[in-house]
Amino acid sequence: MAPVRLRHPKGVSTIQIPLDQEDYTVQDLLQEIYKATEILPSRQSLKTGYPPRPLTLVPELPLSSLDLKSGEQLIVQEDAPSSSRGTESAAAATSSARAVARSPPRSATRPAAPPAPAPASREPAQSSSSKKEFVEVDGGYLVHRVVPDDNSCLFSSLALIFEQSMTKAQQLRKTVAEGIKGDPITYDEGILGMPPPKYIETISKPSSWGGAIELAILASHYHTEIASIDVETGRIDKFSPNENSGPASGNRALVVYSGIHYDALSFSPMEEAPDEWHQTLFPIKDGSDESDSILVAAKKLADSLRAKKAFTNTATFDLRCEQCGQGLKGEKGARAHAEATGHTRFGEY
């Protein structure tokens, strides 16, 4: 454990964090800061160095993404609560920014800008009967099962895996809502970033994205580990069932994440086998990830998608406000601009 010193509105505190622990995330750090400062993770603004530089906080990334050192000093500030208009604008900004990330650049509606390479856009969503990308593995193929790009991709992917039908996606949203209601100690405002009733209302809507919280709840519901492979980095994030949810099945489900989209992975005995022949759960084997042929194949598939630029970094992609022309950096920049101005229309450049 390494000490990190916090300067915050209530004074000075020191927390201990595991800088070398690979599965320790930025979200874990924000939770430790919350315990010391009582500033909600969703409102924390961190700076370090001299002159102080702001840190880009992506909760799902490992702590190493912040490049902190033992004895580092962090300046912790609380973002002012937004007005109702600002909150609505920020939410719209987030939705707009993510929609831009999923869509080709809209040059006809954007102010003139210097020429720049167009970002790689993912191929249109394929049906389960379309040509699938795959990686050969012992006895068959690990197949990339592309689900619709409709804001329910996480739920569609896991419905395909656990219920063998993407039509059960809304059912999984209800399962998440019930999981939050049933465990108010774990899923409090500090974890959710908003009051639990508001979070439940939001995640129940088909237009709301799912992420780490939903993966953790569904892993517990199905008593099955869910491994999410990040296309951009090749990192594998594992979400294990809660010990209080009952005995674990000893199985693992696999999804692949592009930065804005989740898809399912499944095993097929042949390249174009019918969907009902696919295996969607895999036994967890003892030993390292490198000795598990299915995980090795999953990383190879992510490598293949990365080579095709089939990912989007929503923290760093360039945006321009279509209402005032200001250049912005990533979803966070769009959200801050929306809160300050009420503008909600953005284009990529």
What does the pLDDT look like over 302-315, one tens digit per residue?
Answer: 999 888 887 766 66
5 pLDDT more than 70: yes
Residue with tokens 């990830």, as numbered in its chain: 289
**Cis peptide upstream of residue 62 (ω within 30 degrees of 0):** no
Find the mean pLDDT for residues 62-68. 87
Cα(33)–Cα(337) distance, integer angstroms: 25
Distance from the Cα of residue 46 to its chain's centroid: 20
Find the mean pLDDT for residues 55-74. 86
Burial class (CB in 10 A: 0-12, 13-18, 19+), 1: exposed
Give the pLDDT confidence score for residue 83 in this predicted structure.
Answer: 38
Q: How confident is the model at residue 89 (pLDDT cuts 50, 70, 90)?
A: very low
Find the mean pLDDT for residues 156-181. 96
Q: What percent of the chain has pLDDT over 90?
A: 35
Looking at CATH, the fold of the domain delimited by 2-78 is given as Ubiquitin-like (UB roll) (3.10.20)
Highest-pLDDT range among 72-76, 99-103, 330-334: 72-76
Give the pLDDT confidence score for residue 124 in this predicted structure.
Answer: 34
Greater confidence (247 vs 265) lies with 265
Please name every residue paired with 7 in a beta bridge, in sequence order, or none if there are none.
12, 75
Q: What is the mean pLDDT of the chain?
A: 80
Cα-Cα-Cα-Cα torsion 141, 147, 152, 154, nearest 10 degrees, comes to 10
Q: What is the pLDDT of residues 11-25, one digit of tens each?
A: 888 999 998 888 898
Give the pLDDT confidence score for residue 42 in this predicted structure.
Answer: 80
Give the pLDDT confidence score for residue 107 in this predicted structure.
Answer: 28
**AA letter at 127:** S
3 state SS of 10: coil
Active site residues: 150, 153, 261, 343
Cα(4)–Cα(15) distance, integer angstroms: 5
CB 334 within 8 A of CB 346: yes
Q: What percent of the chain has pLDDT over 70?
A: 80
Q: What is the pLDDT of residues 111-132, one digit of tens each?
A: 222 222 223 333 333 333 345 6
Find the mean pLDDT for residues 320-329. 83
Give the pLDDT confidence score for residue 97 in this predicted structure.
Answer: 55
Task: Supply the CATH classification number for the domain 134-307.
Answer: 3.90.70.80
215 pLDDT more than 80: yes
* Alpha-helical segments (H) within the chain: 26-37, 84-102, 153-162, 169-182, 189-192, 196-203, 212-221, 293-307, 330-341
Give the pLDDT confidence score for residue 126 in this predicted structure.
Answer: 37
Domain residue ranges of the chain, discontinuous segments joined by +: 2-78, 84-119+313-348, 134-307
